[in-house]
Amino acid sequence: MNIVRTFVALAVLAASSAFGQDAPPPVGPTPPVTTAELTDFTRTMTYDQVRAFFGTLAEQSDRVRLDTIGTTNEGRDIPLAIIADPPVEEPEDVKSRTVVLLFGDIHAGEVCGKEALSMLARQLALAEDEPLLKNLVVCIVPIYNADGNERFGADNRPGQHGPNEMGQRENAQGLDLNRDYIKLEAPETRALVRFMNTWDPAVIVDTHTTNGSHHRYTITYQGPKNPAGDGEILSFVRDTMLPAVGQAFEKNTGYKAFFYGYFANRGTDHAKWVTYPDWPRYGTPYRGMRTVWPFFRKPMPTRRSRTGCSGHLVSAAKCSTTPMNIATRLRNL
């Protein structure tokens, strides 16, 4: 299985997990269940519930190793689950396999990734024969913005389908972690970049949830697009990989997928489909400039097919960082 087919299978599996199409659990101890599944998708997991879910999974599967990528501003460990067969403790154990990183909750009100990646982890960990693990080491960080996740509120994501209450977009410092990749002001960003430096993942999946303008695409995705990155990767992801993901996703679920965007003027101008810039302070352009592959996003696990995304880019990161501070932080990672 080559990397394209492998990644397409993984991406479709991740997306399908959000739609309740994961395999039936094997005979044995009761597998962990997400809060979304337990509540008909009206509630989402707290930090402690995520840790309990993955703790149970690690008890039930030899493929799962639990670790942390670092610590949040408020001192919470950022959980990391490394799923591999045979299992992996350190980067040296990876051998010839490809490392994939999937993370959820960078914007902690956008909870779909946290829930869906937990369901995906369960499937990869407990399936009797999981062909994806022949080639991949799957690293999952389900609750990256853990501090933001714990600030539950009913109004944190107006118009978003999903739970009744959810976390906030920013971290505990009030920073948007998806605008922090150049200045590295948040401890969460520094932890993630340190993980990338250490484990060198070839593919990174960064999950978001959209709200706002209504359109036909249940899932949207975006890859690297800054021309300063590797041109072959850029065109391959845009022209081959992501369209293949979209086609396979539609074939498996019946839902449509397309490149991330939204109608202009806060969803009111249906003559224009717009998207975000290629600045590397955003995660996807940043990772593309590191010659890492794509980005994928999805709505809250729900049976509804309507989704949208205006208002996604209104937050701007606060910056109190000088170039010298940035250089110092990079050296110290």
C-beta of 57 vs 117, nearer to Zn ion: 117
C-beta of 64 vs 300, nearer to Zn ion: 300
Query: Considering only 22-30, 35-43, 139-147, 202-210, which stretch makes contact with Zn ion by CB under 5 A?
Result: 202-210
Query: Considering only 102-110, 115-123, 130-138, 261-269, which stretch makes contact with Zn ion by CB under 5 A?
Result: 102-110
Read off the tokens for 64: 């799962």
* Cα four-point dihedral sign 112, 116, 121, 122: positive
d(CA 53, CA 31): 9
Query: Considering only 31-39, 66-74, 203-211, 269-277, which stretch makes contact with Zn ion by CB under 5 A?
Result: 203-211
Is 215 a residue that touches Zn ion (CB under 5 A)?
no
Closest by Cα among 109, 130, 110 to 121: 130
Helix (H, G, I), strand (E, B) or coil at 271: strand
Is 208 a residue that touches Zn ion (CB under 5 A)?
yes
C-beta of 107 vs 215, nearer to Zn ion: 107
d(CA 80, CA 143): 9
C-beta of 18 vs 125, nearer to Zn ion: 18
C-beta of 97 vs 318, nearer to Zn ion: 318
Out of 43, 107, 114, 225, the only residue in the binding site for Zn ion (CB under 5 A) is 107
Q: How far is the CB of 314 from Zn ion (least distance, A)?
A: 11
Annotate each residue in 261-300 with x if it binds Zn ion (CB under 5 A) or - if it does not, as one string: ----------------------------------------
Q: How far is the CB of 105 from Zn ion (least distance, A)?
A: 10
Q: How far is the CB of 93 from Zn ion (least distance, A)?
A: 32
DSSP letters, 36-62, are HHHTTTS----HHHHHHHHHHHHHH-T
Alpha helices in 80-212 (DSSP H): 112-126, 146-149, 187-199
The CA-CA-CA angle for residues 161, 153, 265, to 5°, reads: 50
Task: Give residue number: closest CB to Zn ion.
Answer: 208
- Asked if 57 and 122 touch (Cβ cutoff 8 Å), the reply is yes
C-alpha distances in Å from residue 57, one per residue of 32, 33, 82, 125, 141: 7, 10, 11, 7, 14
Closest by Cα among 178, 163, 83 to 127: 83
Query: Considering only 66-74, 75-83, 145-153, 206-214, which stretch makes contact with Zn ion by CB under 5 A?
Result: 206-214
Query: Considering only 105-113, 127-135, 196-204, 260-268, which stretch makes contact with Zn ion by CB under 5 A?
Result: 105-113
Q: How far is the CB of 107 from Zn ion (least distance, A)?
A: 4
Is 157 a residue that touches Zn ion (CB under 5 A)?
no
Q: Please, what's the b/e burial string for 184-206 (b: 16 or more CB within 10 A of its CB; e: otherwise)?
A: bbbbbbbbbbebbeebebebbbb
- Asked if 209 and 105 touch (Cβ cutoff 8 Å), the reply is no
Query: Considering only 107-115, 218-226, 253-261, 270-278, which stretch makes contact with Zn ion by CB under 5 A?
Result: 107-115
For Zn ion, the binding residues (CB under 5 A) are: 107, 110, 208
